[in-house]
Amino acid sequence: MILMVSVQDLYEAKQALQGGADIVDVKNLQEALVGSAHPNVVKQIRDEVPSAHHASVTLGVVPDQIGTVSMAVYAAGCLDATSVKVGFMVSDYNLALETLIASKEALQGTNTKLIGSLFADNLLYDGGIDPDLMVKLAKESDCDGFLIDTLVKDGRNLFDFIPEDRLKEIVLEGKELGMSTALSGHLKMTDIDELSRVNPDIVGVRGAVCQKGDRDSRVHWESVAEFKRQLDLRASGDVPVYSSVEQSAISNSSNNGWIVIDGTGKTCAGIIAALSDQIKVDESSFVEVIIPDVLNTYDLIVWSEKNKHEIVTQRKDSQGTIRMLIKP
């Protein structure tokens, strides 16, 4: 999991980066239901963000106006945003689909990724799009990924609207399709264990990394650093998030005769996609997967069981990476 921090200006972006954020997500909290930052703010931040990090743009809840939205998406591409998030609250599903398709077309020729977004609390509103449709919507519109967020500001968060098990199903469905998966929505430090079990590619926060935990105050680098540290402790396995997980061990015997997929530097979605592609062309060879992140092993276990593949062995090597041997 990597950390995305919502920022409103260059000062907050620098605080987020100093604390170790992987993505700064530029938005405007002063606009109703979260809106877009001014293009000059986006450009200023984008120019300051190192190439090793990402600067994304949030359009917030977009209107039912395909041309207007696609023009805003095009602007994000011209600003060289890493990604642009297009969110829907109350809308017709088909209109949301058409809007995302037009947005994808608007990004042709740019490096900007399109992220579709629904809100976990959409069903509180008359005509709200069911967040259970997130993967379907993202797939049919050819989005590069999706974000599930929340809108309410009454103390409830993501897990109050969608249970952990269902979120894990949604995230795994997205990963199987090769999409980037992101979760946000008033997440706090106390939610990190649940988040780690769901294991999205990206965790988005703001209030949890602001002074005094108040999202209306300023992002503070020390709070960012602590949130990032807690995520990393769970990714490394130093802080377990499952009460009991069977860990197989094998000796360092010869591993001649099987395919090796190195997942170093890949997201979980990338690892699963590589595995799926390999098994499609060769269903007889064993596949050894090198997994740099403990949390991703749980996703691979679930994926293997779902697709009736057998996990033969699992071990941690001298470098601390996990090696899993899978029989299709």
Confidence (pTM): 0.84
Q: 14, 27, 113, 153: which is the annotated catalytic residue?
A: 27
CB within 8 Å of 319: residues ≥ 6 apart: none
Q: Is residue 318 part of a domain?
A: yes
Answer yes or no: do 85 and 129 share one domain: yes
pLDDT above 50 for 165: yes
Distance between CA atoms of 264 and 323, rounded to whole angstroms? 11
pLDDT above 70 for 194: yes
Question: Which of 119-128, 149-158, 189-198 shows the lowest per-residue confidence on average (mean pLDDT)?
Answer: 149-158
CA distances from 136 to 60, 173, 179 (A): 20, 10, 12
Answer yes or no: do 311 and 203 share one domain: no
Answer yes or no: do 232 and 263 share one domain: no
Domain final residue, candidates 236, 270, 294:
236
CB within 8 Å of 136: residues ≥ 6 apart: none
Domain final residue, candidates 236, 269, 295:
236
Answer yes or no: do 323 and 209 share one domain: no
User: What pLDDT was estimated at residue 248?
Assistant: 35
Q: Residue 73 in contact with residue 113, Cβ under 8 Å?
A: no
Answer yes or no: do 183 and 320 share one domain: no
Answer yes or no: do 126 and 6 share one domain: yes
Answer yes or no: do 181 and 293 share one domain: no
CATH code, domain carrying 309: 3.30.110.40
**247 band by pLDDT with thresholds 50, 70 and 90:** very low
Q: Mean pLDDT in the chain?
A: 89
Answer yes or no: do 36 and 107 share one domain: yes
User: What pLDDT was estimated at residue 183?
Assistant: 98
User: What pLDDT was estimated at residue 215?
Assistant: 74
Answer yes or no: do 65 and 11 share one domain: yes
Question: Which of 111-125, 138-152, 257-271 shows the lowest per-residue confidence on average (mean pLDDT)?
Answer: 257-271
User: What pLDDT was estimated at residue 251?
Assistant: 31
Q: Is residue 126 part of a domain?
A: yes
Task: Determine phi and psi for 73, rounding to 5 degrees.
Answer: -65, -45
Q: What is the arithmetic mean of pLDDT over 94-122?
A: 97
Q: Is residue 308 part of a domain?
A: yes
Distance between CA atoms of 121 and 185, rounded to whole angstroms? 10
Q: Is residue 155 part of a domain?
A: yes
Is there a catalytic annotation at residue 27?
A: yes
CATH code, domain carrying 100: 3.20.20.380
Answer yes or no: do 284 and 223 share one domain: no
Total count of domains within the chain: 2
**172 band by pLDDT with thresholds 50, 70 and 90:** very high
Longest dimension (CA), the chain: 61
Q: Is residue 248 part of a domain?
A: no
Answer yes or no: do 220 and 309 share one domain: no
Range of the domain at 131: 2-236
Q: Is residue 252 part of a domain?
A: no
**19 band by pLDDT with thresholds 50, 70 and 90:** very high
Q: What is the arithmetic mean of pLDDT over 197-220?
A: 90
Q: Which residues pair with 310 in a beta bridge?
A: 327
Q: Is residue 211 part of a domain?
A: yes
Q: 85, 104, 168, 228: which is the annotated catalytic residue?
A: 85
Q: Which residues pair with 145 in a beta bridge?
A: 115, 180
pLDDT above 50 for 52: yes
Q: What percent of the chain has pLDDT over 90?
A: 63
Question: Up-side HSE of residue 121: CA atoms within 13 Å toward CB?
Answer: 18
Answer yes or no: do 205 and 279 share one domain: no
